[in-house]
Structures are given as structure tokens and as C-alpha cells.
Structure 1
Amino acid sequence: MKQRAKRSTLFWVIAISVAVHVIAGAIFAGLKIYRYTEPPEATFESPPPARRMAQANVEYRVAMQQLQQQSARPPGQTAGAMDSLLEQSLESFDSPGGAFGTSALGGTPVVVGAGAGRGRGLGRIGGGGGSLAIGVSAVDFFGIKKQGERVCFIVDAGASMVEPERGDLPGYERVKAELVAMVEGLSPGTFFNIVVFERGVDLYAPRMVVATRDNTSQVADWIAPYWRLVDGKIKERGTFRKNYEPELVDWEGAGGTSRMDLALAAALEQRADLIFMITDGTPSIRLARKEAEDQTWRRRVEGYEEARARYEASERGKREMAAYEQERAVWQAARDREKAEREAKGLPPVVREGGNRGAPSRPGPSRPSRPTEYAELDDLQRWVRRRATTLYESGGSALPSLNLVGYSPNARGTATIEVLAKTFPDGTSRVIGAFAAGGTP
């Protein structure tokens, strides 16, 4: 009996102990589970200060969004560049400076601004006292008034542009000053470039740049050296940078003193929709020479040099050369007097295209002229049309408007600009007189 009672007591002790452990384990496990599932205590933090967008940037973005909705340009031209343009201010565009810079869009023809004048920020759609679209500038080019989004100015820098009948160097300074004012008057969203031509071409920037204050403010310094008088000497006669060579596809232009072909090709490669040119006369574009003709010419030069030596050694040659030297001395004295009179008035020596105009002819055998063939105006016009068709229509763009101003041209020069202005639709030509120093044409 006693042993049975002991077993019963031990059983209950063990059972109670197990129950107590089970209950304790359940409670402990429940607390653990509760801790992991209990929601964290709520905390409150102050939000970061709100970023304020500058008013000009807000207007800029709104204007660009409206442009995307309203622009009639093919979507392929604007879609890829618009997003990157909206992410930068106008001041972020590279400026040309001394070394070439590039526009932020790499020359893509996108309209990026608004307004009608400098110093007005981005302006407003249809603002500026007119109804100009965003990025369109109204330009008054020596009396020709047109509107465009991508404007290229072409300036003749040939010696004939600074001859006395065209106002000398002071007159050309006025031409440059007027050009600077036009560029500074462009709306901030307009793209522009400048081409100066003579025997070659100088380009303001390798591709169109947007008309920011930084880009336009450098034009005056860039254009200043052309035919500028410094300490009684002319700074740069014609083109001197020669920093651009346009592609002359299917064209045989190989030289000349007035390379309008290079200037127009450069403007077309810029995809300008509005092209202005000021020039005094006609193109002088030498076509490529044939090797056989050059060989014949060199043989003739050798014969001339032998004949020249025999002439100057003869009695007749000595008499005629002595008379020639006297005539030349009289001519030179007249030139020196004219130079002195001009210096007294603060004017530079007379500049004449083609050198010593009016000098007496040298007697004896004449040096044979090198065989030279020049491009006809009709040929130039047809080639410009073909080149424009390739460059513009392949990109879905309309042909540009070509507008020419004749700067005190002769009759042939006047006829030339009238013909060239008809190269594309909406072209215009106009003739102005020479600028007097500080005066008007």
C-alpha cells in the first residue's frame, strides 16, 4: 500500500511540474511573439524645406511645354532634344569664345526661347508688341525685315567692300556695328551663326548657337579685326581664320577672290531657315584647272621669261623701260600725295581690289595668263538649289529664305543679288548706299 501511495504522489508531482513548465513556456513564447508583432511606436519628423523654382525657370518650362504641344515641326526633330533642353538654363550653353564651343543641342534645330528683345528674359508667347512664336526673332537686316528661328548672317570681307566709293574703312566699321546690333537684338531662344567670306570662309561657331547673352556679347570682339585700322595699319585684310571648309559636293569651285559658293554652302550646312547676306558685287569663283592646260601654260611662261630678258637687254627695251619708270614715278607721287591727304583726315590708305589700279602698263612682252575658267551665276544658283534640297528635304525641313543686300554695288552687282535672291521662295534683295563714318547709308 505504501509503495502504491508513493508512486501516486510521485506521478502527481511530475504531472504538476510538467504542467507548470508547459504553462510557463506558453506564456514566454506568447511574450516573444507579441514583441515581434507589436507595431512600432509612432514618431514624427519635420519634412525637408520645399525647393522653390526660380520664376524664370518656371516660365521657361511652361513655355517649352506649350511649344511641344503647338509646334508644327516634325516630332523627330524635337523629341530627342527637348527633354535635355528643359533640364538646363540658358546660361549652360557653351559660348564660342576664342576656341570653338558647341550649343547644348549639337545644332539640332529646336526652338528654345521667346520674347522680342534682349534683356527681357524669356519673354512671353506672342509678346514683345507683336505675335512672334516662341524662339522666332524679327530681324531688320539693312532694311530687309524677316522672321526666323535659325538665322545665319553672311558678310562680304573682300577688298572692294572698303573702297572709297563704299565709305572706306569707317563705312565698313558701320556695317560691322549694325551686324552686332542685329545679333544682340535676337530673342534668347533663336539660334544664330555668322559667316564671313572672301577667298575662304570664317565661321563664328562650328554650328548654330543659341542667342544667350554670353554668346551674343562676344560677337563684337569676334568681328572687330576685319579691316580695322590699328596704328595707321589695317589689321586683317579679308578672311584670316579660315576655320571652316564646307563640303562642295558635285561642284568644281577651286579658288577665286569672292567665294560666295563657300559662304552659301556653310549657311546651308548650318540648316539656317533665314539667311542674310551683305555684299557689294558678284561672285568670283575659279573652277578647277585641267593638268594639260597647266602644262601648256608653264611652257609659255618659260618662253616669256626668255623673251623678256632679250627685250630688256635691247636698245629699244632700255628706252621704253626708262620712259616707263618716269611715268610710274609720277603715278607713285600722286598716290603718296593722296595718302598724305587721307592721313591728315584720319583715313587709311586707299584700298583697291586687284592691286595697283591706274598704274602705267609695263612695256615689253606680257606674262601669259594662267588658264582660268570662272563659274557662271546660273551654275552657282543651280548648285545651291541642289545642295539645299539634299540637306533640307532629307531632314523634312522647308527650304530657307535667302535675302541679299547690295552694298553700293555697280550694275552687275545689283543684277547678281536680284538673281540670287530668287534661288529659294520668299527671297528678297535690296540695294543700299555706302555708310559714311557715323552717318546713314
Structure 2
Amino acid sequence: MTLYEAIRPSNPTFEEPPPLEKIERVKLEYKVRMQEKQAKSARPKQRLQVKSVQNIQMPDVSIQVPTMGSTGNIGRFGEDNFGDLGDDNGLDVGAISVELFDIKAKGEKFLFVIDVERDLMQDSKGGLLTYNVIKEDLTELIMDLPSGVLFNVMLFDEGKLELWRPSLVAATKSNKESFAEWLKPVNSSPTQIGVRNRNYTPKSWNSQFAKDLLGSRWRTGNEVYLVAMGILEQKPDAVYLFSDYLPPMADASYRSEEDIEEAEKNYIDKIEDAGFDSVEEYRAQRDAYAPKIRKRVEAFKAKEAAERKAKGIPPRIYSRGENWSLHSNIEKKLKEEDDDYVPHITKNWIYSTYSEREVKQFFEQLMRLEYDQNSDERPVLNAIIFKGEDEDWSKEQDDAVDDFVDYFQGDYRVLKGLGAIDSEKFQ
């Protein structure tokens, strides 16, 4: 079973990085072998092939990647750390050029951003095994960074952010080992999913734009704008973002005060139409009935987990959408079977919109604040999008990711991972 298949975007860009000041360095090259990944197995180590080259502008790490129709692995920098002098012998300082999945990035400061939402562990993407592989490969990648490079890692889960370190740190041996231990428990089991320590909120959260899009009125999808704010405040040269989707850098929906008031009025009308005298009466009865629903849901999941375990299949991780669908199906059955059933009455949300111009204007101001005023080059954001082997990838999805990374002068690849786990037989 192969792990990844690269899908090239319609207009891939493979531009060489701008030349830096010439320095005498050793050119390092290595080749990444295709590896089969399934349950944990011994994996052969990659070796660097070192050659002396004169007039090197900057060390260039060339990572071979799959062509169309082939399979490949996440590129790594090599096991010898190309000059990592560790904590006791100083730092190997200098900009590097990296090519990962045909995506080139240069600089001394790298930020890795990882989506830890449940959606990346759905059956359709291969379940927990796929996410474990992502973590293993990212850890190996970071373990092989040169010691003079600065790096940090950010996790995100909807509107929550977690930073490994408050700011970028040198890729010393001790820092890399500390990072590896920190990442291990992330999304490691059904009981450990998502951000564990919500320890970071970007300063720009206090702006009206952020409060509208990302505050108590935030809408699913807008959290990536919060991630972008955090990225800019970390001030990296280059970013690799791992997720299963990105929204376009375009119109953004939010709930205005008027939207909330109208939705609340409609909600009260629905409760009265259902025969309740007040919102308080409805909520009291619904709260009293809720344990019966939870019991049905828990029983279903426990039965499913036992059947999967007997067949050697990892526990199922339900996405928020899948959880909603399961609850909805159980509520339909209870409505038919139980005379005491109390319906689930929801608000019909109404949304306003920030225009594409307003969204981009906000981030333009952030760019000027964090980069331009310090005469720093703006960051390049590259995205690696993970999809299940059998998942569809539409032109609309492709265009959305392309639009987002284009704004940050970056590139992207869509990687198809492990095949889906067939959960239909447990329904």
C-alpha cells in the first residue's frame, strides 16, 4: 500500500529562488526512496551524498518528488542534519533552499502549521493511521533541519491555536528532541484530539474584522484567517501548512448584530410554533431529554468500536459533520418511537459578508505592520492538502486553495493518502 500520490495544480510554479550573497558552502544532495507505509515497520534510513562544489550561492537541498501517476513520500532533509553542530558546538548559520513536493522555499526562518481537526482522521482519509504517518514524517523533516535555521510549529483546530514555542527558535538538537516529544501525543487516539493547550491568540484578534469573523459569531471556515494572522505575527520567511482544505482569499461571511437579532426572533417563533410557552420551558424539557439521546449515541459508537476492534480496524474518529449526521439519524428514530420526544429546535443563522477587497485590505495592513516597516521580505505560504485515496477533488476546491496560496506568493500540492476505511458494514 502506498501512502501519497501527488496531484499537480493546473498552473504549477517552479521558480528558482532569488540569488543570495555567494558563500562557500558544501552542496548537499540526497535522494528519497519510495517507501511502503502501513502499520509501523522498520524503515531504511536515508543517506546524504556530499560533494564539494565551488561558488555555491546557498546550500540547496534537492528532494526528489513523484511525477504524475507515481507515488512518493514526504521529502526529508537527510539524517545527518547537514551541519547540525548541536547545542555544544555552535550553530550552522545561513539561509537554505528547500524543495518539498516540488515546492521551493528559501530562508532561515520556517513555520510549520498543522491542522489537528477531526476531519483529517476520518475513515475516508484512512483514519488514525494516516495522521500518525503525517506526524512521523513531519518529525523526521524537522529533526534534519540545520541548527542555525529558526523554526516553530503551530497547531490549529477551528478557532483555537497552539504554539510549540512562543516564537521561532534555533533548530538545535535539544530543541528538535523537545519538539518530537511535544508532538507525539497530538491526535494519537480518539480521546486525544485537537488542540490540547490553547496558548496563543494573535494580537490582531482585537480588530473589529477579527471579532466579526472569528469571535463569538464566527463561522466554520473562517478559522484559517485566524491562522494567517498568527503566521504573520511569527514573522517566518516560509510556511508549510498541512490541512485538508483552504478557503479562497475572497468574500467572508460573518454574523452581524442585526443577523443575530433576526435569527433569535425566528428561533423564538419556532419554539412557540412547536407548542412551548417560552424559550426557558423548551430548554428545560430539552435538557431533561438530552441524556436519552446521548445514551443512544454512546451505545451506537461502543458497538461500532467493538466490531471494528474484532476486525483489526482502528477506532473511528467522527468529524463534526459525521457526529451531526449520527445525532440526526438517532433523533429521527426517537421521534418515531418515543411519545415523550422533545424536538431539537435550532436557529436559522443569517450571514453578512466582508468583501474580497476588505479581506485582502486587512491582511495587507498586517503585512505592512509585521514585515514592510522592518524592511523584511514578505513570507511565502505553501500548502500541502491531504485527501483520502477515494475522495473527490473538485475544480472549485482546487481554485480555492490556489487563490489562498497565490495571495501569499506560495504554491501547493494535493496528496492522496491511505485508502478509506469501509465503515458502511457497521451501520
TM over 0.5: yes
The CA distance in 2 between the partners of 1:384 and 1:186, in whole Å, is 30
Counterpart code for 1:421:
V
Query: Is residue 419 from structure 1 mapped to residue 403 from structure 2 by the alignment?
Result: yes
Query: Is residue 291 from structure 1 mapped to residue 257 from structure 2 by the alignment?
Result: yes
Partner of 2:238: 274
Partner of 1:172: 131
Moved more, 428-437 or 389-398: 428-437
Taking the TM superposition and a 5 Å limit, the aligned residue runs for 1:326-341 are 338-341=304-307
Query: Is residue 238 from structure 1 mapped to residue 202 from structure 2 by the alignment?
Result: no
Counterpart code for 1:210:
A
Counterpart code for 1:148:
G
Query: Deviations for 1:229-270, whole angstroms, at most 9, x for unmatched residues?
Result: 1xxx421x2223111111334623223444111211111111
Taking the TM superposition and a 5 Å limit, the aligned residue runs for 1:9-408 are 117-118=80-81, 120-122=83-85, 134-141=93-100, 144-198=103-157, 199-229=159-189, 233-235=190-192, 237-248=193-204, 249=207, 251-252=209-210, 253-254=213-214, 255-258=218-221, 259-283=223-247, 289-309=255-275, 338-344=304-310, 345-354=312-321, 355-357=323-325, 359-360=328-329, 362=332, 366-373=345-352, 380-408=359-387
Contact 2:247 2:401 in 1 (8 A): no
Counterpart code for 1:240:
R
Change (3 A) 1:185 1:375: farther
Counterpart code for 1:264:
A
Deviation (angstroms), 1:221: 1.9
Moved more, 218-227 or 158-167: 218-227
Change (3 A) 1:161 1:385: farther
Counterpart code for 1:293:
D
Which one has the largest radius of gyration?
A: 1
Residue aligned with 2:231, SS:
helix
Q: Which has the higher contact order (CA 8 A, sep 6+)?
A: 2
Query: Deviations for 1:304-343, whole angstroms, at most 9, x for unmatched residues?
Result: 22333469xxxxxxxxxxxxxxxx9999987665433322
Contact 1:271 1:391 in 2 (8 A): yes
Contact 2:84 2:172 in 1 (8 A): no
Instruction: Select the residue among 411, 418, 423 that pairs with 1:428.
Output: 411
Change (3 A) 1:373 1:352: farther
The CA distance in 2 between the partners of 1:175 and 1:201, in whole Å, is 19
The CA distance in 1 between the partners of 2:344 and 2:320, in whole Å, is 25
Partner of 2:27: none
Question: Tell me, which stretches of 5 or more residues in structure 1 are unaligned?
Answer: 1-69, 73-112, 124-132, 312-327
Contact 2:84 2:146 in 1 (8 A): no
Deviation (angstroms), 1:225: 2.6
The CA distance in 2 between the partners of 1:309 and 1:286, in whole Å, is 37
The CA distance in 2 between the partners of 1:264 and 1:140, in whole Å, is 22
Change (3 A) 1:374 1:228: farther
Counterpart code for 1:234:
T
Counterpart code for 2:350:
P
Moved more, 240-249 or 294-303: 294-303
For normalisation by structure 1, the TM-score amounts to: 0.58
The CA distance in 1 between the partners of 2:111 and 2:127, in whole Å, is 25
The CA distance in 1 between the partners of 2:345 and 2:177, in whole Å, is 52
Residue aligned with 1:234, SS:
coil
Residue aligned with 2:413, SS:
strand
Change (3 A) 1:276 1:121: closer
Residue aligned with 1:422, SS:
helix
Residue aligned with 1:356, SS:
helix
Contact 2:94 2:149 in 1 (8 A): yes
Counterpart code for 1:383:
F
The CA distance in 2 between the partners of 1:349 and 1:338, in whole Å, is 8
Partner of 1:94: none
Residue aligned with 1:251, SS:
helix
Residue aligned with 1:306, SS:
helix
The CA distance in 1 between the partners of 2:144 and 2:355, in whole Å, is 36
Deviation (angstroms), 1:398: 1.2
For normalisation by structure 2, the TM-score amounts to: 0.60
